Structure 1
Amino acid sequence: MNIIDLFSGCGGLTEGFRTKEFNMICHIEMDEDACNSLRTREVFQYMKEKNDLSLYNSYLLGNIKRDELYQTMPENLMDKVINCEISHETIDCLITQIMNLSNGKIIDGIIGGPPCQAYSTIGRARNEKIKGDDKRIYLYKYYSKFLKKFNPKFFIFENVKGLLSYKDEHNEKLLPKIINEFESTGYNISCKVINSIEYGVPQKRERLFIFGIRKDIEISPSDFFQEMEKERTSGINIRDLFADLPKMRHGEEKNYYVESNQISQFIIENLKSNDTPLTYNVSRFCNEKDREIYKLVVLAKKKGKNLKYNELPTHLKSHKNETNFLDRFKCLSNDEVAHTLVAHISKDGHHYIHPDISQNRSITVREAARIQTFPDDFYFESSRTAAYKQIGNAVPVVLSKKIAKSICKIFN
């Protein structure tokens, strides 16, 4: 089935659809770094099919530049990634580009979801004042325009759980309006909140999924969620997730695996790569005060407690506000899955402190990527900060694989 990916990010949802059952026509994404990550991933997939990753590995090792790598690829491969904001001014041009890229092929599916910050419960009070001018709120209308134009058999729309309660500038719930919009374009709709932890992802992450089937197709959209129910499984804990990654201190980079007797089948099947060098296993530098806080937070976590900001010793406090945002520092637990990984990790790592007190640091980019179940051969462009942001915004890869698998099943 031929599909297009809207609001792609770096491609977490895309990864699940990289199977023989699907053909990705194009990705549309406004963030330049995320687009380069998509392009680099297209290069990887192309070279993997050719059974020759030598040039890709040379790039990961820093022996050639990105432009040199891209220049060796067929031109149409790079054209699949469209770096553009979806807006009133660009949508007609984007539709034309997709038609050219599809080369007459029927578009069978549309996947993706617009930026979620506008709907998130975090910062909702702050965003209340800009509702009338926040274009992100109504990006679903452009999604609808793509549905009208290409009339695919199905679509999958992903967003934050906060969309369930979000009210628009008229103080009316937005979700019923979105569903009505999609139904009016000719689709039967079903929606459900899915928690990634129930599908093998080592992370508690609740997201709303809207699934649509074209009304002339005799498949119920609820069939998709019934198939998803069959894919439920438990996730591994943080200790097992990081078992083959080296111990390190803050500010260090160690791009190699270590021998371990605890390597789970999950790591072998979904994450570890024997064909490419490990990348981005780099941790942030943090100052002495933060390291002291980290130790206290880890010790409290071992006792089953999340240490609040107002409980810190006076000499470690740098903010006068001791009533709001008290969970400024949060530690992962070795014996549990991670709490929700969000894009704020690109700002600092205080919410994702490594559970090993001897390492005394926040998690590396690669560890964050593993929490989101990106395979280790996935390379993020173009900096550590950009990588953290892309990872935090993504759909977990293992979940996206089960989404794609469930879609295949209902059509078969």
Structure 2
Amino acid sequence: MALSDVSANLKIDESELRRWVRGGLVQSRESDLSKSKSALFDLDDFKEFTGTAHNLGSTKRVVSFFSGCGGLDFGFRAAGFDLGFANDFFLDAVNTYANNLGPIDPRPIQEIAVNETGPATVLLAGFPCQPFSNAGSRLGTADPRGTLFWETLKFVEYLKPKVVVFENVRGLLSMRNPDGGLLIDAIEHELATRGYSVGHRLLNARKHGVPQNRHRVFIIGIRTDLNLGPFNFDLIETAEGKTVGEVLAKPFGNATSAEEHWPLSPQAMDLVNFIPPGGSWKNVPDEKLPARLVRIKENMARYHSPNFYRRFAPEEVMGTVTAAATPENSGILHPHLPRRYTIREVARFQSFPDEFNFLGKSVAAKYKQIGNAVPPELARRVAHAILLHLGIAGS
């Protein structure tokens, strides 16, 4: 089938379909699409990515937006939910999701009609972290990405899922709207006006079986006509996450990306030899520090006492895995070896199983996917608690 025919059949712009092909999401019968206007395609290949091949009859069906590489979805599937529809625009993450979990729609959410996803028992949305992150610009709703929340609400209104789950960074709790009100209050208000009993909680993944200190906000709405009240966050099972040493002790065997890592810069290599397990840049002699770090060290209060080049010891619990994977800010230094953690090691800190394979055009793209993901084990426990809550009234 010609690409123009696929476009007409799926009602998706041909230029968008070409983006999918160039990104490797769908293969044509021609090796070079740009040299052949008549390249042929299999319609089913495109349907797999738009999710139209999914079973629509499930009573535990998840519709997911901003799905990334699939951490949140993986956890919900592990808890017994069926993955009905997923969506993300970052092609490396889309490839990873498709390779591990199945169909995913790679269009911008603005281009997806509300009637295309199929029904939803639970709607998941992990908004892009950047607008609300303490580590980012904190532009909030002034940033165009902040408007993606409103795009998600269109699907909430149309699908009327039993449960809505929003996930974001802890900075969301202190972000304010232009009118001075807290953004978290505005989000909960919008869900409440659409018929949901809403609550939120800041969860530390470490307290829920994940070997990492990672704080994330979960906003959960339960449809009011179910008469189940607000979600009971205390149903989420607790368990202490393992230490760095415990995570690294298990052999990696034939796990993918077991040795793959992003080499350190010459500057980082010069510093890391002075940093012991459990230490940081504070262990580096001043004469070995770059001039920029010396200036910061001389005026720590002004710079809010940063702790650069953190190197967690084997007996400590890993700090927050970040998308940037920079040794200066992310605690990504191996406790004993002069390198970053490998892709597989970082994935373990996020509770991804060793068989979960990350795809990407660069090693940095793989770190980014892992750092942006919701830890699957945390997601599984949240999903299980939702099932318990829905089951209280025999729903």
| 2:38 corresponds to 1:18 | no
The equivalent of 2:347 in structure 1 is 369
One-letter identity of the residue aligned with 2:116? Q
**Deviation digits for residues 75-131 of structure 1 (CA, Å, limit 9, x no counterpart):** xx5xx31112223xx2xx332331xxx3xxx4211012211111112234xx55xx6
The equivalent of 1:136 in structure 2 is 145
| 2:136 corresponds to 1:95 | no
Q: Aligned to 1:112, what secondary structure does the other structure show?
A: strand
**Unaligned stretches of 5+ residues in structure 1:** 43-76, 246-255, 258-275
Report the CA distance between 1:180 and its aligned residue: 0.5
Relative contact order: is structure 1 or structure 2 higher (C-alpha 8 Å, sep ≥ 6)? 1
Once residues 113 and 282 of structure 2 are traced to their aligned partners in structure 1, the CA distance between those partners, rounded to angstroms, is 48
- In 2 relative to 1, CA 132–26 (structure 1 residues): closer, same or farther, beyond 3 Å? closer
Contact 1:349 1:363 in 2 (8 A): no
The equivalent of 1:5 in structure 2 is 64
Once residues 113 and 20 of structure 1 are traced to their aligned partners in structure 2, the CA distance between those partners, rounded to angstroms, is 18
Report the CA distance between 1:140 and its aligned residue: 1.7
Q: Spell out the pairing of 1:87-126 with structure 2 (5 A cutoff).
A: 87=110, 90=111, 93-98=112-117, 102=118, 106-124=119-137
The equivalent of 1:317 in structure 2 is 290
Once residues 261 and 146 of structure 2 are traced to their aligned partners in structure 1, the CA distance between those partners, rounded to angstroms, is 35
| 2:388 corresponds to 1:409 | yes
Contact 1:374 1:396 in 2 (8 A): yes
Once residues 387 and 191 of structure 1 are traced to their aligned partners in structure 2, the CA distance between those partners, rounded to angstroms, is 30
Report the CA distance between 1:347 and its aligned residue: 8.5
Report the CA distance between 1:352 and its aligned residue: 1.1
Contact 2:320 2:330 in 1 (8 A): no
Report the CA distance between 1:25 and its aligned residue: 1.1
Q: Which of the residues 339, 342, 367 maps onto 1:388?
A: 367
Report the CA distance between 1:242 and its aligned residue: 0.6
Comparing 2-11 and 131-140, the one that deviates more: 131-140
The equivalent of 2:42 in structure 1 is none
| 2:178 corresponds to 1:192 | no
Report the CA distance between 1:284 and its aligned residue: 2.4
TM-score, normalising length from structure 2?
A: 0.76
TM-score, normalising length from structure 1?
A: 0.73
Once residues 187 and 348 of structure 1 are traced to their aligned partners in structure 2, the CA distance between those partners, rounded to angstroms, is 42
Q: Aligned to 2:388, what secondary structure does the other structure show?
A: helix
The equivalent of 1:150 in structure 2 is 159
| 2:235 corresponds to 1:227 | yes
One-letter identity of the residue aligned with 2:248? F
| 2:101 corresponds to 1:84 | no
- In 2 relative to 1, CA 298–119 (structure 1 residues): closer, same or farther, beyond 3 Å? same
Contact 1:7 1:113 in 2 (8 A): yes
One-letter identity of the residue aligned with 1:29? D
- In 2 relative to 1, CA 288–117 (structure 1 residues): closer, same or farther, beyond 3 Å? closer
Once residues 381 and 341 of structure 1 are traced to their aligned partners in structure 2, the CA distance between those partners, rounded to angstroms, is 18
Once residues 20 and 351 of structure 1 are traced to their aligned partners in structure 2, the CA distance between those partners, rounded to angstroms, is 31
Q: Which of the residues 200, 203, 212 maps onto 1:203?
A: 212
The equivalent of 2:188 in structure 1 is 179
Once residues 289 and 79 of structure 2 are traced to their aligned partners in structure 1, the CA distance between those partners, rounded to angstroms, is 54
Q: Which of the residues 282, 296, 299 maps onto 1:308?
A: 282
> Could you say what the CA RMSD is over the residues aligned between the two structures, in angstroms?
2.3
Report the CA distance between 1:318 and its aligned residue: 5.2
Report the CA distance between 1:24 and its aligned residue: 1.0
Q: Which of the residues 369, 373, 376 maps onto 1:397?
A: 376
Q: Aligned to 1:204, what secondary structure does the other structure show?
A: coil
Contact 1:307 1:330 in 2 (8 A): yes
One-letter identity of the residue aligned with 1:239? G
Once residues 356 and 126 of structure 2 are traced to their aligned partners in structure 1, the CA distance between those partners, rounded to angstroms, is 21
Q: Aligned to 1:141, what secondary structure does the other structure show?
A: helix
Once residues 370 and 270 of structure 2 are traced to their aligned partners in structure 1, the CA distance between those partners, rounded to angstroms, is 27
Once residues 237 and 177 of structure 1 are traced to their aligned partners in structure 2, the CA distance between those partners, rounded to angstroms, is 38
Once residues 269 and 197 of structure 2 are traced to their aligned partners in structure 1, the CA distance between those partners, rounded to angstroms, is 52
One-letter identity of the residue aligned with 1:237? T
One-letter identity of the residue aligned with 2:67? S
Report the CA distance between 1:222 and its aligned residue: 3.1
Once residues 348 and 380 of structure 1 are traced to their aligned partners in structure 2, the CA distance between those partners, rounded to angstroms, is 24
